Amino acid sequence: MPDLDPISAAVAPGYAFEGAALELGGLMLDAEHLSDVHIRIPLGMLNRHGLVAGATGTGKTKTLQLLAEQLSAAGVPVFAADIKGDLSGLSVPGEGGEKITARASSVGQTWEAKGFPVEYFALGGQGTGIPLRVTMSAFGPTLLSKVLGLNDTQESSLGLIFHYADSAGLPLLDLADLREVVKWLTSEEGKADLKDLGGLSPATAGVILRELIAFSDQGADAFFGEPEFETTDFLRTTSDGKGLISLVELPNLQDRPAVFSTFLMWLLADLFHDLPEVGDVDKPKLVFFFDEAHLLFADASKAFLDAIAQTVRLIRSKGVGVFFVTQSPTDVPDDVLAQLGSRIQHQLRAHTPNDAKALKATVNTYPNSAYDDLGQVITSLGIGEAVVTVMNEKGAPTPVAWTRLRAPESLMGAADPAAMEAAVKASSLFAKYAESIDRESAREKLAAKLEAGAAKAEAEKAPAKKAAPKKAASKKAGKSMVEEVVTSTTFRQVMRTAAREIVRGMFKTGRR
């Protein structure tokens, strides 16, 4: 095959890295022939982010599994959303066979059945996993507006509501708290509180309340509350130095896609705010796989997309790598796509004019390749094959490589549910997050305020007592009550909360 040798000559030098690297597979010369060139990704470049794309059924999940295994073995913690339940098998040694042996041999892989350390999580405890919860205040108005589908005016009003709650010392812990604050600010008793801030129109408040009710009907109540998850708990390793793989179960994704994708974005934004700057590191502190990424970007405002792009750009310096997993590169906005240093492109189909347009746009994003027609290569890729280009150790793109990917060494399927449940209860995080906490928040404080107002109004209507001594006694008692309230622990806590400024970042998120 002398006419094919130039491909190996053009590609091989680009993947001869000196430092630690993840092994992806072997270079294919055409649909039938493999070279002995190994295609790899430098470990130190994984915080330059990446993309795994391809049509349904082309092997994206197995690629994610392959990357997660090697990252864990290298001591790098991994976070991934387990949308179909297939990734739970990472904890179980794989099942060999003739096909696995043949694939491994073809790409120079010494295959060995292995299981990896996995921690299971579930949003709000819905599913098998340690509950992941966030307070409404920490989630913030910008991400919530994306979930609720609010327009710019409604988003601005929601931001005003959050600002008022912060200033008034009304903790927003769950959806019920936010609903009660909206109702208060449109009531006769509370609407004066926003007089100096422009007020809240009843129409906008009505839209927000209706969307919050619909959001609640999707089961979102379980996501918001306490104890709030500390995202730094994802950055853990085992006693033998392996990176812990954190898998979040996402049941019924089709019923509430925006909820899940936006919740994942909050996790990423929260990591950005919590982690210190580390600059360039030998290996990432965490690699975050963002599956079904198109759900995050669909119908998003320009401001929201700008915030995502900024978060992705800056979180690299915190030592976090982000891989977006989606069907087509065109699902990812150009500003974000431009920051993704590693590209693993599985097969794309070109059955419709829109498919052909997406294919052309995909090909145009790649550097020059040694293949005569890269578009034809992408449409003819087999299952478990991909077109790869990554950043080399100097930060330059490597040559485009048609790659047969290695086989994962863990189970390519779901783990046993009973074993998963046992692993959850045995986790050191179970005691920390399993039980929900319902402390005093905006709902209770506003209810007390309304009750106090009603009592005061009732007292004013009562006939004045004629006996002078009783008047004096009443006055004295009233003074004693005020002193008691002012000196109480609850009052001091309210004043501290009202005075405390919550720092919000690019998504206006913040923790109490």
| DSSP string across 439-486 | ---HHHHHHHHHHHHHHHHHHHHSPPP--HHHHHHHHHHHHHHHHHHH
Mean pLDDT across 209-218: 88
511: confidence class by pLDDT, cuts 50, 70, 90: low
Q: Enumerate helices (H) and strands (E) in the chain, giving the number of each.
A: 19, 12
Instruction: State pTM to two decimals.
Output: 0.85
256: confidence class by pLDDT, cuts 50, 70, 90: low
Q: In what order do the strands lie in the sheet with 78-82?
A: 34-42, 21-28, 401-405, 385-389, 342-345, 50-53, 320-326, 286-291, 78-82, 245-249, 118-123, 130-132
Q: Check residue 483 and give its pLDDT.
A: 52
200: confidence class by pLDDT, cuts 50, 70, 90: confident
CA–CA gap between residue 405 and residue 23 (Å, rounded): 9
- Which has the closest alpha carbon to 222: 267, 259, 183? 259
CA distances, 421 to each of 128, 162, 415, 504 (Å): 6, 37, 10, 36
pLDDT at 351 over 50: yes
CA–CA gap between residue 320 and residue 312 (Å, rounded): 9
Q: Check residue 189 and give its pLDDT.
A: 85
Q: Check residue 254 and give its pLDDT.
A: 58
Q: Check residue 488 and give its pLDDT.
A: 47
At 293-326, the pLDDT tens digits run: 888 888 777 878 888 899 899 999 999 999 999 9
pLDDT at 471 over 70: no
464: confidence class by pLDDT, cuts 50, 70, 90: low
CA–CA gap between residue 363 and residue 315 (Å, rounded): 28
Q: Check residue 83 and give its pLDDT.
A: 79
- Beta-bridged to residue 39, according to DSSP, are 25
Chain mean pLDDT for the chain: 85
Mean pLDDT across 187-207: 85
**3-state per-residue secondary structure call for 380-414:** HCCCCEEEEECECCCCCECCCEEEEECCCCECCCC
The number of C-alpha atoms within 13 Å of 309 and in the hemisphere containing its C-beta is 15
At 12-54, the pLDDT tens digits run: 999 999 999 999 999 999 888 899 999 999 999 999 999 999 9
Q: Check residue 463 and give its pLDDT.
A: 62
Residue 406 is encoded by which pair of tokens? 């290695």
CA distances, 102 to each of 8, 214, 395, 401 (Å): 22, 51, 34, 21
